[in-house]
Structure 1
Amino acid sequence: MSTNPSSNPQNDEDEIDLLALAKTVWSKRRQVISITLVFMLIGLAVALLSPKEFTASSTFIPQTSESGKGGGSLGGLASLAGINLGGMSGGSEIPPALYPKFVSSVQFRKALLNAPINVEGLNETVTYSKYYEEVAQPGLLANIKKYTFGLPDLIIQAIKGKSEVTVIQTEEGDLIRLNEEEVKHFKRLEGQLSVSPNVKEGFVTLSFVMPEPLMAAQMTQYAQELLQNEVIAYKISNAREQLNYTEERFKEKKAEFDQIQSRLANFRDRNQNISSATAMNQMERLEAEYNFAFNIYTELAKQLEQAKLQVSKDTPIFSVIQPVTIPTEKSAPKRPLILVIFTILGLILALAYIFGSEFLKGVKEQWNEA
C-alpha cells in the first residue's frame, strides 16, 4: 500500500485558498459589480465624449539615379558635347530612415503651421494655426482634462505669465524664437503627423490625423509635398552650390572674353594692311589673349552644362504607391475598445480592493491577537 503524504496537504491548501478567494469574491459581489459598473459608465462617457478623428495617409518610394552608371544613355549624349559624366560624383543617398528627422525639424513644423485647409461650414480657407487658435472648439472631455489634470499647469502659467522658448537651429546655426502658441502647435503635431519608413522595402508612409476627413487629406498632401521638397533641397544642395559657383565664374569669363573679342575685332578693322612689326606683335598678343580666354570660356561652358546635369542627376524622384485619399471612416475613437478596457480595469481594481481589504483585515486581527 503506497501513500504520498508530501503532495496531498499542499493540494488541499491550494484548494482551500482558491475556495476561500472565491467565497470572498462572492460575498463581496455587490461591491465588485458596483465598482465595475462605475468604470463601465466612465468608459461609456469617455467613448461618447471623445472627438472624432480621421486619418489620411500616403505611401511613396524615393528613387535616385545610381552614381556609378555615369548617366546611362545621358552620358553617351553628353559625351558628344565634350562632357564627361563619368567623373561626376553625386551626393550621398538619403535613406528613408532619416525622413522622420526632416519632419521633426523646427523649419518643417513652422511651415506646417501655414498649411491652408478648408473647414466645413467656413467659406474661406484658413491656416492650420488659425484653425486651432480661432475656429476649433475643444470638447467637453478636453475641458474636463484641462481643468483637472492640467490645472497645475494652468496655475503655473498664470503665475509666470506668457513665456518664450528659444530653439537652436543646428543646420544653419541660427536661433529660432517660438512663442507659446507655436509650442502648443508643435506638441499637437507630434501626435497628428506620423512618418513610418520601411527600411527593408525602401518606401515611406506618411499619415496625418485631423477632426475632419477633408482636412486630414489636405494636411497629408501638404506635408508630403513639403517633405519631398525638403529632401530634394538637401540632396542637391552640394550640386546646387557647385552650379551657382560655376555660373558666376562663367559670367565673369564670358564678359572678359567679349571684351577681348571686341578689342581684337577693332584692331583688325584699323589694321587691315599690316606692314609694321609692332602691329604684328600687337596682333599676335591680342590673338593669344583671345585664344586663352576662348579656351577658358569653352571649358567653363562645359563645366556649367556638367553642373546642370549633376543637379538633375541628384534630384530624387518620388514614385507614389498609394496617393492621398479622403478617408471615409473615422480612425478614432474606438468606442467598443474603450468600453472593454474600462470594464476590465474596473473589474481588476474591484478585485484588488476586495483582496486588499481582506488582507488588511487579517493583519489587523493578528495584531490584536498578539
Structure 2
Amino acid sequence: MAENKNNYQQPDVQETENDEITIDWMDILRRIYAIRKTLYKAAGVGLILGIIIALSIPKQYTVTVTLSPEMGGDKAGGGLASLASSFLGGGASSNSPDALNATLAPDIVASTPFILELFNTKVQTLDGKLDTTLVAYLDEQKQPWWGYIKAAPGMAIGTIKSLFSEEADTTSALNPFQLTEEESEKVEGLRKVITADVDKKTAMTTLTVTMQDPKVTAIVADSVVAKLQQYIIDYRIKKAKEDCAYLEQLYKERQQEYYDAQSKYAHYFDSNRNIALQSVRAEQERLQNDMNLAYQVYSQVAQQLQVARAKIQEEKPVFAVVEPATVPLQPSGTSRKVILIGFVFLAVCGTGAWKLLGLTYWKKLKSNI
C-alpha cells in the first residue's frame, strides 16, 4: 500500500518539476495578444506622459574646454614649461614644493570665492534678447513645471518674510563670509553646472559648463578658463612679487645712501682741495671708501632687482588651450525622442507585467488575507 502511494506521488513531482523548467511561449504570446488593447492604451498614456515631460524639460547646452601645460624645453624645474607642468600634474616625479597642484583645480573651480567672481561676468544670449550679468541671467533660466511646484512653499515663505523685513540693499558687494539665501542657492546652482576634472596620467584639465543658452554657456566657459589661469598665475608669482617689492624699497634706500655718500665726498673734496694736511687726506679717504662701499651695495641690490623682475615673468605658468570654448550647435543630455521611447516602453512593460504576473499574485494575496 505504501509502495503504491509512493508510485502515485512520484509522477506529480516529476510533473511539477517539468512545469517549473518548461516555458510555454505560445501561451505567453496568447496572453499578451489577449490584452493587446490594454497595452495599446498604456502605450498611448506613456506617449502623452513622455511628450509632457520632454517638453517640460528645458534644453541644456554643454561646452567643454581642455587645458594642457606647455611641454617645452626642460629647464631643471626652473622654466615656464616645468612650472606649468608642476601645477597641472605633469608627472608624479615633480619635486615642486608648491601647495597648489592639479588635484586642487576642481576644488578651486567649486570654491565659493571663485564662483562669486563669476557673478558679474557679462553674458549675452544667442538671440540677443538678454545682455546682462551672469547672476541676473540665472533668474531668467527656465525650469520644469514640477520645479515651480517644489519651489512654491519656499517662495511663499520668502514673500511673507519680505513683508515684515526691511528691503535688502542689492547694491552692496557680495560677502563670501555671509551669503544671503538667494546668493547661496545661486552659488550651489553654478557649482553643479561648472565642473573641472584632471587626468593625472595625461596632465589634461577639462572644464565643463552646462547651461540653457549656447552662447551664454560658451561665454561662461571662456570666463572660467581665464579666471582659473589668472588665479594660478597670481598664486605662482605672489612670492616673486613680494620679493620684487622688497627689493624695490631696498634699491631706493641704497641708492639714496650712495647719493648721500657721494655728495659728502664731493663736498669735502671741493672744500679741502688745496689743503695738504694728513688728517684731511685721511678723512677724504674715509669718505671715498664709504662712497665706494655704498656704490657696491647699491650695485648689488640693483642687480638683484633686475633678477627679481625677470623672475616674475619666469614664474608665470604657461597654459595651452587644447580645446577652446565654442558655441554648441546641438543640445546635450537626453534627447526628447529617447524620453518618449522610454516612457512608452515603461508604460507597456509595466502594464504587461501587472496584467500577466502582478494581478495573479495580487488575487492570491487577497484570497490568503
Structure 1 residues 360, 239: CA separation in 2 closer, same or farther (over 3 Å shift)? Answer: same
1:202-213, aligned counterparts within 5 Å? 202-213=203-214
Residue identity opposite 1:34 in structure 2: K
Where do 5+ consecutive residues of structure 2 fail to align?
1-9, 81-94, 166-174
- TM-score, reference length from structure 1: 0.76
Residue identity opposite 2:223 in structure 1: Y
**In structure 1, how many angstroms separate the alpha carbons of the residues matched to 2:338 and 2:50?**
9
**In structure 2, how many angstroms separate the alpha carbons of the residues matched to 1:211 and 1:147?**
17
CA contact (8 A) 1:90 1:314 kept: no
Residue identity opposite 1:197 in structure 2: V
Structure 1 residues 313, 288: CA separation in 2 closer, same or farther (over 3 Å shift)? Answer: same
CA RMSD of aligned residues (A): 3.5
TM-fit CA distance, 1:23: 6.8
Structure 2 residue 294 is matched with structure 1 residue 286: no
1:1-370, aligned counterparts within 5 Å? 9-15=16-22, 28-63=35-70, 68=76, 92=98, 94-120=100-126, 122=128, 125-133=131-139, 136=140, 138=142, 142=143, 144-154=145-155, 157=158, 176-332=177-333, 334-351=335-352, 353-354=354-355, 355-367=357-369
**In structure 1, how many angstroms separate the alpha carbons of the residues matched to 2:106 and 2:150?**
30
Q: Identity of counterpart residues, as a percentage?
A: 27
**In structure 2, how many angstroms separate the alpha carbons of the residues matched to 1:7 and 1:69?**
79
Structure 1 residues 297, 156: CA separation in 2 closer, same or farther (over 3 Å shift)? Answer: same
TM-fit CA distance, 1:206: 2.1
**In structure 2, how many angstroms separate the alpha carbons of the residues matched to 1:274 and 1:356?**
124
Residue identity opposite 1:239 in structure 2: A
**In structure 1, how many angstroms separate the alpha carbons of the residues matched to 2:210 and 2:129?**
22
Cα offsets for 1:38-86 (capped at 9, x unmatched): 23321222222322222233222123775626559xxxxxxxxxxxxxx
Which SS does the other structure have where 1:149 is aligned?
A: helix
Residue identity opposite 2:76 in structure 1: G
Cα offsets for 1:103-137 (capped at 9, x unmatched): 1112211111111112355577411112233xx26
Structure 1 residues 121, 26: CA separation in 2 closer, same or farther (over 3 Å shift)? Answer: closer
TM-fit CA distance, 1:315: 0.8
CA contact (8 A) 1:91 1:236 kept: no
**In structure 2, how many angstroms separate the alpha carbons of the residues matched to 1:238 and 1:126?**
37
**In structure 1, how many angstroms separate the alpha carbons of the residues matched to 2:29 and 2:159?**
52
Where do 5+ consecutive residues of structure 1 fail to align?
73-88, 163-173
Cα offsets for 1:272-325 (capped at 9, x unmatched): 234223323322332232233222222222222222232222211111222222
TM-fit CA distance, 1:188: 2.3
**In structure 1, how many angstroms separate the alpha carbons of the residues matched to 2:358 and 2:336?**
31
**In structure 2, how many angstroms separate the alpha carbons of the residues matched to 1:365 and 1:124?**
64
Query: Across the two proteins, how many residue pairs are aligned to each other?
Result: 333
